[in-house]
Amino acid sequence: MIGVLADTAQSSVVREFFELFKTPWEFYRGGPHYDGLICSNAEPPRSSAKLVLIYDDRPKLFDREKGIEIRSRRSDCIISCKDKRIPIYGNCLTFTGRAAHELVDEGDQASVAVEIAENGQTFVRIGFDLFGEIRRLLTRGQPPAHAAIPALELHIALLRDLITGCAIPLLEIPPLPSGYNFVVCLTHDVDHLAIRNYKCDHTMFGFLYRALIGSVIHFCRGRKSLRQVAVNWMAAFSLPFVHLGLAKDFWNDLDRYLEIEKDVTSTFFLIPSKGEPGQDAGGRQPSRRATRYQISEIVPQVNRLLRKQREIGLHGIDAWRDGAKGRVELESVRNVTGASEIGVRMHWLFFDEKAPAILDKAGFSYDSTAGYNETVGYRAGTTQVFRPFEVERMLELPMHVMDTALFYPSYLDLSPKQARAVVKPIVENAVRFGGVLTVNWHDRSLAPERLWDDFYVGLIEDLKSRGAWFPTASQAVSWFRKRRSAVIESVIYEGDSVRVKVSIDHTDAALPGLRLRVHKPPARPNADPKQTKCHTNFVDIEFNNSAEFEI
């Protein structure tokens, strides 16, 4: 059991952190014995805990008593620990002397943690505010410069290593569905749907420029093949026939996603009302944001997607800033699909810190707006579905990879080869940490002038080969609700065995089960390496109902 002593203002952050790092814990009580004690912005009390971790970005009485000398205090630094790089957005202290656990400021290699061992206890003084960092990640998020770093997962990994490195047995329920290595959500923002909806406007002229001139430029830069240039030119010259109804509308082809995805599922976010630009954070109404279709006009296509087990969500306009409008937008989807649980992703990713509470009160089951327009990676620093603060029920499904961020000239402007190199570590992090990888491929991205279908097909095949589960966004969120409902009720150690009682308050048997992970203490110093080197450092047990285990 881990005890946590923290400011009362941090209580909600602590609770959410331990939904993500799902291991037995409780707020500190004076009486019980704890294996580990985490003190955040608080002086460590007298205790029998084998390991005491003191996180704080300010000098403490503990520092003076133990002779810990502070070297510097600064903000917005990056700390490194072996192969991990973790950005610190608040203040960070460095200390004189040798760094504990190789935890150093990347800039000057000064110690960010010091360790003191006395009277059978280990104290590790760490120079930043853990739960302050977690709050920052789950509210404001990370700047694009640090998008590639899953900072929250690295904080969890560091804490896990500190605990197990002190030979403390650790149990957790990792974010891994039984039978799979991680979760993948394939999603599609449907912004345009049909090119015949556009005539003499910026969308049409932009298409013609990119199809005719841009294709040639991309061919010269090695970004498009000669075949793709030909496809784009043919599409451009077919436009009069498309508008006359004599040729197929090459943007109106959602069935192409059904062909590519085949035996996996996906989620389509659809616009509630056409011609509505909505308002941005400054109250402006950007006319280019208005679309030329609405969900009620495409009921046959929606029904076809539903028959193919696809999910329909809302591509919201004003739902993020106005609860009343959010309820109207939600009902536009419910009236067509009949679904009780509706998710949302905001058009153009409009969002702010107040949006989660507004969307929650409007009745949305989940939001999937936490991502970047200009790059790919971890805006919230995590691979996991989480619950934003000030929210009662809605969960956040973070978005990690978006096609336009990878390929648009105004964003990363990558070639397919470069894009694969950028996406590869994001996929590897999903395998390493578990959780979910959310991909957003727009409705027109398979069609002229983009033709990003080859990359998408290759990405799906790669994810399949790595053992991913491909649910709809709603199913993925439901699985994380299932995990959040699980509780490790009791842990009893008897010699080399441990008896564990786990309960689940979730009855959807169609979802994959959970895993109970038991981390083994490190081998004894005099152990025979031949007998230990082939053993993994944890044991996983899969379960799908409340149960008791003896390991």
Domains of the chain: 2-172 (3.40.50.880), 185-194+251-480 (3.20.20.370), 198-243 (no CATH), 494-550 (no CATH)
Asked if residues 471 and 453 have their Cβ atoms less than 8 Å apart, the reply is no
- Residues 440-484: tens digit of each pLDDT: 999 999 999 999 999 999 999 999 999 999 999 999 999 999 999
Distance CA 513, CA 543 (A): 6
Distance CA 139, CA 264 (A): 32
What average pLDDT does range 271-275 have in this prediction? 97
Asked if residues 526 and 481 have their Cβ atoms less than 8 Å apart, the reply is no
227: Cβ contacts below 8 Å, ≥ 6 apart: none
The conformation of residue 14, written as its DSSP 8-state character, comes to H
Residue 316 tokens, joined = 């919201």
Q: Who wins on pLDDT, 493 or 252?
A: 252
Q: Which pLDDT score is estimated for 525?
A: 44
Distance CA 507, CA 505 (A): 7
Burial readout 487-507 (b: 16 or more C-beta within 10 A, e: otherwise): ebeebeeeeeebebebebebe
Q: Which pLDDT score is estimated for 437?
A: 98
Q: Which pLDDT score is estimated for 440?
A: 98
525: Cβ contacts below 8 Å, ≥ 6 apart: none
pLDDT band at 350 (very low <50, low <70, confident <90, very high): very high
Query: CB burial class (10 A; 0-12, 13-18, 19+) of residue 282?
Result: exposed
Q: Let me know how long the chain is.
A: 551
Q: In what helix (H) or strand (E) does residue 386 lie, and over which residues does it extend?
A: none
- Is the predicted pLDDT of residue 507 greater than 90, yes or no? no
Asked if residues 138 and 16 have their Cβ atoms less than 8 Å apart, the reply is yes
Question: What single-letter amino acid sits at 189?
Answer: D
Q: Which pLDDT score is estimated for 522?
A: 65
Q: Which pLDDT score is estimated for 458?
A: 98
Q: In what helix (H) or strand (E) does residue 333 lie, and over which residues does it extend?
A: helix 323-337
pLDDT band at 177 (very low <50, low <70, confident <90, very high): very high
What's the whole-model pTM score? 0.95
Q: Which pLDDT score is estimated for 536?
A: 54
> Which own/partner contact pairs does 422-431 have at CB distance under 8 Å and 24+ positions apart?
422/376, 423/376, 423/459, 425/148, 426/148, 426/376, 426/377, 426/400, 426/401, 427/462, 427/463, 427/466, 429/150, 429/153, 429/383, 430/182, 430/183, 430/184, 430/383, 430/468, 431/181, 431/182, 431/466
Distance CA 374, CA 218 (A): 20
Q: Which pLDDT score is estimated for 526?
A: 44
- Is the predicted pLDDT of residue 542 greater than 70, yes or no? yes
| Percent of the chain predicted with pLDDT > 70 | 97
pLDDT band at 508 (very low <50, low <70, confident <90, very high): confident
Question: Residue 239: phi, psi to the nearest 5?
Answer: -55, -45
237: Cβ contacts below 8 Å, ≥ 6 apart: none
- Residues 278-323: tens digit of each pLDDT: 999 999 999 999 999 999 999 999 999 999 999 999 999 999 999 9
Q: Is 376 helix (H, G, I), strand (E, B) or coil?
A: coil
If phi over 0 gives left and psi between -120 and 50 gives alpha, with beta otherwise, what is residue 367?
beta
Strand partners, 184: 437
Q: Which pLDDT score is estimated for 528?
A: 44
- Is the predicted pLDDT of residue 30 greater than 90, yes or no? no
pLDDT band at 523 (very low <50, low <70, confident <90, very high): low
Alpha-helix runs per DSSP H in 151-201: 151-165
The 10 Å Cβ neighbour count of residue 474 is 21
* Secondary structure tally for the chain: helices H, strands E: 17, 24
What average pLDDT does range 353-361 have in this prediction? 98
pLDDT band at 151 (very low <50, low <70, confident <90, very high): very high
Asked if residues 444 and 191 have their Cβ atoms less than 8 Å apart, the reply is yes
Report angle CA 286, 288, 294 to the nearest 5 degrees: 105
Omega cis (within 30) before 449: yes
- Is the predicted pLDDT of residue 533 greater than 80, yes or no? no
Query: CB burial class (10 A; 0-12, 13-18, 19+) of residue 157?
Result: middle
Residue 259 tokens, joined = 């062909």
Residue 20 tokens, joined = 């993500």
- Closest by CA position to 291, among listed 150, 149, 190: 190
493: Cβ contacts below 8 Å, ≥ 6 apart: 169
Q: Is 237 helix (H, G, I), strand (E, B) or coil?
A: helix
Query: CB burial class (10 A; 0-12, 13-18, 19+) of residue 425?
Result: middle
| Percent of the chain predicted with pLDDT > 90 | 89
Distance CA 463, CA 468 (A): 6
Residue 305 tokens, joined = 């997607």
- Residues 484-499: tens digit of each pLDDT: 999 999 999 888 888 9
Measured over all CA atoms, what is the biggest interatomic distance in the chain, rounded to whole angstroms? Answer: 86
Distance CA 126, CA 51 (A): 13
- Is the predicted pLDDT of residue 535 greater than 70, yes or no? no
Distance CA 51, CA 117 (A): 9
